[in-house]
């Protein structure tokens, strides 16, 4: 058994300094005066002062009690704290300056601290939240902070924005943090080994970085405002926001489009359909047009709804738009109340089997056992079988930094993988790879070599399980190169949409195979599932829907 890796005592210092060096190299042209000022001051700190500051920045919050700070690798912590104060990396509590952080300051104290500091022994049975509220009601903010400062040694960490922004530049987003280094070095995740020289900046200009940061902020602001404002007031906020961010950088647009969808769907849930329609009109990404149709339908404005559906049929973005528009137009034109959607019709025409009631909440497992009992091989395939074949087939393209974009050492996928132009950018390489093999045996040999060579590397497609390779080999053997080329190209054309909705099970034996979409009595067939079933039928792949009912004892 391999020994568990051990981290050096000051491992976090190495990580942070690496991040700073990386950002200075990749983003030296877009760092502002305040960020360079922070860097100059940071490099003047002693090693222990750097370490304690990093310890603070890696923890949650901006305020900390210093009396209880203990780190074995750091000596004379009180002296280091004073040095950090002197150099303005931390500061003592200030009753005037820190009032906006009142809840955060109270939050670092224990319940016992609050009772003792503010003489609230008569209220010791209150829950913590109620006790916090009592303190804020009973005392003025300035007095609360002054009283705490007199009784407890508390400091606030400074340069919080500069550190957060440098970290954001390194990762290219605000969701990842320094634990990525730890996870990697403890062996929990193995990343593809790009050289730093092969990694490119995520942001080409300061505006790119600022705009993407701004949109992330707006998502958080909306999450708060939607619970505080009535829909008309929230819509005014949205219009003001929209007017203030003209000429948004291209890199920030996808995040803003997602925000528009969230806001529109909020109005729709609140039954403010007119506001929802107006909001959805600010974006064309799916499912904005479908949501507009449904809102117009709720308002009884069928002419407007049908006009949007006609447009969707001509320029549909995915299977959901296509089949929704088809069904909506057909049902409205035939005026039959019992008219069924395409997915429902396909489902009702499918075969049906009976399985044991013990599988009521595991219908795929019960169906798989049904086939195993009949002597077939059976496995859960769903999307991960096809994603594995895709990932192994195009591994070199997906991880080639000369073709796709990698910005830091912890990326599981290129940042442009899910962008609309990914296929156009990689089309020639993908076509060349698809046409590389003439014999199925040669393709299997290539996929197997890629599987073993890259096993364990974090990626967006392959789940590293032994049974995955068994399925891949069987599926490629059964399908043959011609059909496989068609399926892989279809996935590549729109990875986001076409790498989902594939059948649940892969069933095979010596002379037969089929892909099976399993549906319990209460399940519905999705548009994307219907899309793949139709396409499989078109190209001669054995696939079907199988309805399951439960055997009664």
Q: Which residues contact 351 (CB under 8 A, 6 or more apart)?
A: 544, 545, 546, 547
Identify which of 9, 7, 33, 31 has the alpha carbon closest to the alpha carbon of residue 20: 31
Share of the chain above pLDDT 90, in %: 76
pLDDT band at 461 (very low <50, low <70, confident <90, very high): very high
Assign 415 a pLDDT band (cuts: 50, 70, 90).
Answer: confident
Average pLDDT over every residue of 448-466:
92
> What per-residue confidence (pLDDT) applies to 553?
61
In this prediction, residue 335 carries a pLDDT of: 65
Cα distances (angstroms) measured from residue 425 to each of 197, 315, 397 = 22, 21, 11
Confidence of residue 416 (pLDDT cuts 50, 70, 90): confident
Average pLDDT over every residue of 5-29: 95
Instruction: Pick the range with the lowest mean pLDDT from 388-397, 398-407, 423-432, 534-543.
Output: 398-407
Cα(167)–Cα(19) distance, integer angstroms: 7
Please give the C-alpha separations between residue 507 and each of 182, 314, 480, in angstroms, as whole numbers: 41, 36, 16
Q: pLDDT at residue 12 above 90?
A: yes
Residue 385 has pLDDT above 90, yes or no: yes
Distance, CA of 145 to CA of 460 (rounded, Å): 48
Question: Please, which pLDDT band fits residue 341 given cuts at 50, 70 and 90?
Answer: confident
Q: What is the pLDDT of residue 123?
A: 87
pLDDT, tens only, 183-211: 999 999 999 988 999 999 999 999 999 99
The pLDDT score that the predictor gives to residue 336 is 55
**Residue 457: is its pLDDT beyond 60?**
yes
Question: In Å, how far are 98, 151, 188, 255, 550 from 91, measured between CA atoms?
Answer: 11, 16, 37, 36, 67
Of 27-41, 75-89, 130-144, which range is least confident? Answer: 130-144
- State the sign of the Cα–Cα–Cα–Cα dihedral 404, 410, 413, 416: negative
Confidence of residue 33 (pLDDT cuts 50, 70, 90): very high
For the whole prediction, is pTM greater than 0.85?
Answer: yes
Which of the four pLDDT bands, split at 50, 70 and 90, describes residue 321? very high
Q: How would you classify residue 540: left for phi > 0, otherwise alpha for psi between -120 and 50, otherwise beta?
A: left
**Comparing 180 with 419, which gets the higher pLDDT?**
180
Tens of pLDDT, residues 204-238: 999 999 999 999 999 999 999 999 999 999 999 99
Is the confidence at residue 339, as pLDDT, over 70? no
Residues in the chain: 553
pLDDT of residue 337: 52
> At residue 342, does pLDDT exceed 80?
no
The residue with greater pLDDT, 346 or 145, is 145
User: And the tokens for 301?
Assistant: 């404005």
Mean pLDDT of the region 414-440: 89
Strands 154-157 and 377-380: unpaired
- What is the average pLDDT score of the chain? 92
Which pLDDT score is estimated for 171?
Answer: 96
List the end-to-end C-alpha distance of the chain, in Å, as a whole number: 48
Q: What is the pLDDT of residue 352?
A: 83
pLDDT at position 456: 93
The SS3 assignment for 26 reads helix
What does the block give as tokens for 433?
A: 């790879």
How far apart (Å, rounded) are the C-alpha atoms in residues 322 and 433? 30
- Across residues 518-523, what is the average pLDDT? 86
Over pLDDT 70: what percentage of the chain? 98
The pLDDT assigned to 350 comes to 78
DSSP 446: H
pLDDT at residue 39, rounded to an integer? 98
């Amino acid at each position: 058994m391999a020994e568990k890796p051990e981290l050096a005592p000051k491992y976090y210092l190495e990580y942070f300094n690496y991040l700073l060096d990386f950002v200075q190299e990749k983003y030296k042209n877009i760092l502002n005066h305040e960020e360079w000022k922070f860097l100059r001051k940071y490099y003047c700190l002693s090693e222990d002062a750097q370490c304690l500051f990093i310890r603070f920045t890696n923890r949650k919050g901006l305020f900390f009690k210093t009396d209880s700070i203990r780190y074995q690798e750091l000596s004379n912590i009180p002296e280091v704290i004073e040095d950090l104060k002197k150099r303005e990396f931390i500061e003592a509590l200030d009753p005037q300056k820190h009032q906006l952080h009142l809840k955060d300051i109270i939050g670092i104290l224990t319940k016992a601290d609050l009772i003792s500091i503010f003489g609230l022994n008569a209220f010791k049975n209150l829950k913590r939240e109620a006790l916090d509220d009592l303190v804020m009601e009973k005392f003025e903010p300035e007095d609360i902070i002054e009283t705490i400062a007199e009784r407890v040694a508390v400091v606030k960490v400074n340069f919080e924005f500069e550190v957060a922004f440098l970290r954001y530049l390194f990762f290219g987003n605000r969701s990842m943090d320094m634990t990525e280094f730890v996870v990697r070095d403890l062996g929990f995740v193995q990343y593809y080994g790009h050289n730093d020289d092969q990694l490119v900046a995520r942001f080409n200009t300061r505006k790119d970085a600022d705009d993407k940061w701004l949109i992330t902020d707006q998502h958080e602001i909306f999450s708060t405002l939607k619970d505080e404002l009535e829909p008309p007031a929230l819509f005014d906020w949205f219009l003001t926001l929209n007017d203030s961010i003209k000429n948004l950088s291209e890199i920030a647009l996808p995040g803003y489009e997602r925000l528009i969808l969230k806001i529109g769907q909020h109005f729709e849930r609140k039954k403010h359909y007119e506001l929802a329609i107006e909001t959805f009109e600010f974006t064309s990404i799916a499912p904005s047009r479908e949501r507009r149709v449904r809102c117009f339908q709720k308002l009884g404005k069928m002419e407007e709804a049908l006009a949007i559906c006609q447009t969707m049929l001509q320029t549909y973005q995915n299977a959901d738009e296509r089949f929704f528009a088809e069904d909506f137009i057909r049902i409205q034109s035939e005026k039959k109340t019992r008219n069924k959607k395409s997915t429902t019709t396909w489902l009702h025409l499918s075969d049906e089997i009976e399985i044991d009631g013990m599988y009521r909440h595991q219908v795929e497992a019960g169906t798989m056992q049904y086939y195993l009992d009949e002597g077939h091989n059976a496995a859960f395939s769903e999307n991960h079988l096809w994603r594995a074949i895709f990932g192994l087939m195009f591994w070199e393209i997906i991880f080639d930094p000369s073709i796709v974009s990698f910005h830091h050492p912890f990326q599981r996928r290129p940042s442009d993988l899910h962008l609309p132009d990914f296929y156009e950018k990689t089309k020639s390489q993908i076509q060349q790879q698809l046409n590389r093999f003439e014999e199925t045996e040669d393709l299997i040999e290539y996929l197997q070599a890629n599987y073993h060579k890259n096993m364990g590397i974090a990626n967006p497609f392959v789940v590293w399980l032994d049974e995955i390779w068994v399925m891949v080999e069987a599926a490629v053997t059964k399908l043959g190169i011609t059909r496989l080329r068609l399926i892989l190209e279809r996935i590549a054309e729109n990875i986001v949409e076409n790498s989902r909705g594939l059948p649940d099970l892969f069933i095979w034996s010596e002379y037969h195979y089929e892909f099976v979409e399993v549906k319990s009595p209460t399940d519905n067939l999705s548009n994307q599932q219907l899309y793949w079933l139709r396409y499989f039928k078109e190209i001669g792949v054995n696939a079907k829907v199988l309805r399951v009912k439960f055997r009664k004892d």
